[in-house]
Chains A and B, each alone.
Chain A
């Protein structure tokens, strides 16, 4: 049964690789329109958690819910395939390394999903691509191939591609970590714009300043568990746990 009115709900998420437990029982709920930033040291399980929400990783235990629908339903084979493909259409995922399709133009990268999965007509899809590219500031790149774009431009196209499916939530896994420093702001600006439009977002990031600017709530993860969470103003300025303090000290002084 639907556990709550949240947009995203994670209940007791556990995940192991062999004997190594990467997620040790994570609970998280993200309200509609809320923006949650996840921070924590390398290897703490941030990506694994985010990928589990999109079912790119399969949990060993626990539940993931999206807007009242269980993502990791105990279905088998084709039935699960159909279910998960439908669920994923409602979640946008942005990867550290963009994962744009190099053999397609920017237009096709954006329109392929709506056309193939939603049966959208060519003209409507093209108009959507143009509109989304204008939004991320890349209207003139519609006919380019990804190889002709800078990292920041690629990531903005990747965001447009995800938005084209009209997702209920956007998941960002270190969207700016692979970028040259001077290209980070253009991607952050797009994410801030989404925030202003009340897009529900879960953002894994190493950028504390950005997290504090954009997030309603920050989660600090360490060793596969949520150590501490709270509003950015509290968590960044007055963390209660020693591990959070140590982590922030290292990052803020860096």
Chain B
């Protein structure tokens, strides 16, 4: 039984919908991971100990455990304590937090690397502590860390396939559905790989554009 890619077209719509959910997950979780990453970084660096320590513990916990387990915990575990999240929300939260922890680490280092003279320049004008962070320090930290955070976004796109385990019909899940009907794993996995690759190309092009714009302001 050789390769026969003619099995694919009837499932084009299924795969297309799968790709769509992969994109939805990546973009939503990407935004969550970026915003929460900044929040984690600022909290760890500047919040009072009563807040910073629990957050650091949470970060440590999320860094030290597999994403798969985190997804199970958020989707199946939280139900037990009365938090019943829809699969998509659980997937976005899980993926988002998992990568927020890494983005937070990257951005924290980025904030620490901003010249203290920047804060002094801002404070000397009359900016408050938070205003100096918001207008001067964080924008520079984010700009300086775009390549590293961009790599995290590419990783996130790929890791989003893991949420198939909690029943979200993203690309891998969609391929498996098609395979279960056709028994043609090779063709469909190749097709899914090609679609991931395509999505990655688009994401990288987007990231390159952002980096170019950031470079222009240096």
Q: Which of A's residues lie within 8 Å of B, judged by CB? A: 54, 56, 81, 85-89, 91-93, 95, 97, 99-104, 112-113, 116-117, 145, 147, 158, 161-162, 165
B185 at the interface (CB under 8 A from A): no
Is B126 a contact partner of A145 (Cβ separation < 8 A)? no
B167 at the interface (CB under 8 A from A): no
Interface size on B, residues (CB 8 A): 22
B127 at the interface (CB under 8 A from A): yes
Chain B residue contacts of A162, Cβ below 8 A: 124-125
Cα(A87)–Cα(B123), bound, Å? 11
Question: What is the minimal beta-carbon distance from B127 to any residue of chain A, in angstroms?
Answer: 7
Cα(A249)–Cα(B122), bound, Å? 38
B135 at the interface (CB under 8 A from A): yes
Q: A101-B122, A116-B135, A147-B217 are in contact. List 6 more A-B contacts (CB 8 A).
A: A56-B124, A85-B126, A100-B121, A103-B139, A116-B127, A117-B131
Is B117 a contact partner of A99 (Cβ separation < 8 A)? yes
B179 at the interface (CB under 8 A from A): no
Q: What are 24 A-B residue pairs whose CB atoms fall within 8 Å in the complex?
A: A81-B128, A85-B126, A85-B128, A86-B126, A87-B126, A88-B123, A91-B124, A95-B124, A99-B115, A99-B120, A100-B121, A101-B118, A101-B136, A101-B140, A102-B218, A103-B217, A112-B135, A113-B125, A113-B126, A116-B135, A117-B131, A145-B217, A147-B217, A165-B125
Is B120 a contact partner of A147 (Cβ separation < 8 A)? no
B158 at the interface (CB under 8 A from A): no
Is B117 a contact partner of A88 (Cβ separation < 8 A)? no
Cα(A81)–Cα(B130), bound, Å? 11
Q: Within residues 138 to 158 of chain B, which ones have a CB less than 8 A from any CB in chain A? A: 139-140, 143
Chain B residue contacts of A86, Cβ below 8 A: 126
Choose among B115, B126, B131 the residue with the greatest number of A CB atoms under 10 Å from its CB: B126
Question: What is the minimal beta-carbon distance from B58 to any residue of chain A, in angstroms?
Answer: 27
Is A95 a contact partner of B125 (Cβ separation < 8 A)? no
Is B125 a contact partner of A88 (Cβ separation < 8 A)? yes
Interchain CB contact (< 8 A) of A97 among B117, B128, B143: B117
Is B126 a contact partner of A117 (Cβ separation < 8 A)? yes
Question: What is the minimal beta-carbon distance from A55 to any residue of chain B, in angstroms?
Answer: 9
Cα(A91)–Cα(B125), bound, Å? 7
Question: What is the minimal beta-carbon distance from A245 to any residue of chain B, in angstroms?
Answer: 35
Question: What is the minimal beta-carbon distance from A144 to any residue of chain B, in angstroms?
Answer: 10
Is B127 a contact partner of A117 (Cβ separation < 8 A)? yes
Question: What is the minimal beta-carbon distance from B212 to any residue of chain A, in angstroms?
Answer: 14
